[in-house]
């Protein structure tokens, strides 16, 4: 069993001293254009967390996932459920606090949603400073920028796009509405440095429909299973490599 919640209290009590770490998958429940489900971010990190735990066997366990994230920018599309950064931070901190009281020494957060990053950066600092717990945040796509550069054709990508649709074809193939994939109408800002996809940019309070009519930022019609296999394999291998070194350090 790889999931924390599948054990009884006396079983987990005996297992904790042998654990090297626990993995907390954090995602979102938000629009992912016309072809991907609301839970795409969470489904993806669940699969990655499960695959890592299966590879490491009894050294790590996967915690119950957090299905909600910081998603106010997607609220103009139906179905999105957003929580505040403060709520996410409080939830993650109190999970860590409970784990620490039970004797867990390391927590690995695998995050699937860009909107969560700022809050998670702040809370891992607090967990480290207040509890002395070893904690790390992994945003898997940030481990494979070189692979993305080689595999992804689109200049513009970021949400329900070529990258995310390709990986979804590997992570949740039965949930991708292939027949509904279509190229969005991307709206380029008139003022320079305001486009999300530019390397040189300012920070603005933006909503997804400022840039796209379908909810996709990027072109999902360029997605393929072959690309997804390369991208997912790279995320898995590099995440696994890091975690192996982290839990032995």
Q: What is the pLDDT along the chain (249 residues), one digit of tens a residue?
A: 999 999 999 999 999 999 999 999 999 999 999 999 999 999 999 999 999 999 999 899 999 999 999 999 999 999 999 999 999 999 999 999 999 999 999 999 999 999 999 999 999 999 999 999 999 999 999 999 999 999 999 999 999 999 999 999 999 999 999 999 999 999 999 999 999 898 899 999 999 999 999 999 999 999 999 999 999 999 999 999 999 999 998
Full 3-state SS string of 122-155: HHHHHHHHHHCCEEEEECHHHHCHHHHHHHCCCC
The pLDDT of residue 199 is: 87
The pLDDT of residue 219 is: 98
Phi, psi of 3 (to 5 degrees): -100, 130
Which overall architecture, per CATH, does domain 6-243 show? 3-Layer(aba) Sandwich (3.40)
Q: From the CB of residue 196, how many other CB atoms can be counted at a distance below 10 Å?
A: 17
Q: What contacts 22, CB < 8 A, 6 or more positions away? A: 4, 60, 61, 62, 63, 99, 104, 106, 107, 108
Cβ 140 vs Cβ 54: under 8 Å = no
DSSP 218: E
Q: How far, in Å, CA of 229 to CA of 235, rounded?
A: 10
Q: Could you tell me the pTM of the whole model?
A: 0.97
Q: How far, in Å, CA of 220 to CA of 136, rounded?
A: 31
The pLDDT of residue 152 is: 98
Q: From the CB of residue 87, how many other CB atoms can be counted at a distance below 10 Å?
A: 14
């Amino acid at each position: 069993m790889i999931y924390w919640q599948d054990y009884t209290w006396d079983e987990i009590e005996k297992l904790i001293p042998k654990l090297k770490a626990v993995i907390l998958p954090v995602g979102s429940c938000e629009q992912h254009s016309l072809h991907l489900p609301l839970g795409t971010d969470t489904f993806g990190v669940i699969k990655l967390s499960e695959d890592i735990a299966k590879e490491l066997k009894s050294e790590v366990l996967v915690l119950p996932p957090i299905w909600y994230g910081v998603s106010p920018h997607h609220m103009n599309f139906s179905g999105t459920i957003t929580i505040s950064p403060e709520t996410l931070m409080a939830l993650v901190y109190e999970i860590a606090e409970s784990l620490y009281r039970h004797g867990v020494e390391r927590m690995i957060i695998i995050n699937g949603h860009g909107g969560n990053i700022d809050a998670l950066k702040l809370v891992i600092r607090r967990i480290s400073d207040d509890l002395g717990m070893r904690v790390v945040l992994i945003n898997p796509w940030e481990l494979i920028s070189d692979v993305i550069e080689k595999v992804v054709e689109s200049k513009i990508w970021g949400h329900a796009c070529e990258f995310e649709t390709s990986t979804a074809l590997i992570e949740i193939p039965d949930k991708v509405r292939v027949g509904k994939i279509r190229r969005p109408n991307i709206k380029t800002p008139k003022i320079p440095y305001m486009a999300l996809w530019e390397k040189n940019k300012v920070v603005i309070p933006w909503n997804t429909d400022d840039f796209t009519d379908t909810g996709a930022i990027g072109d999902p019609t360029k997605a393929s299973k072959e690309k997804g296999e390369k991208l997912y394999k790279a995320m898995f291998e590099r995440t696994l490599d890091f975690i192996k070194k982290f839990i032995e350090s």
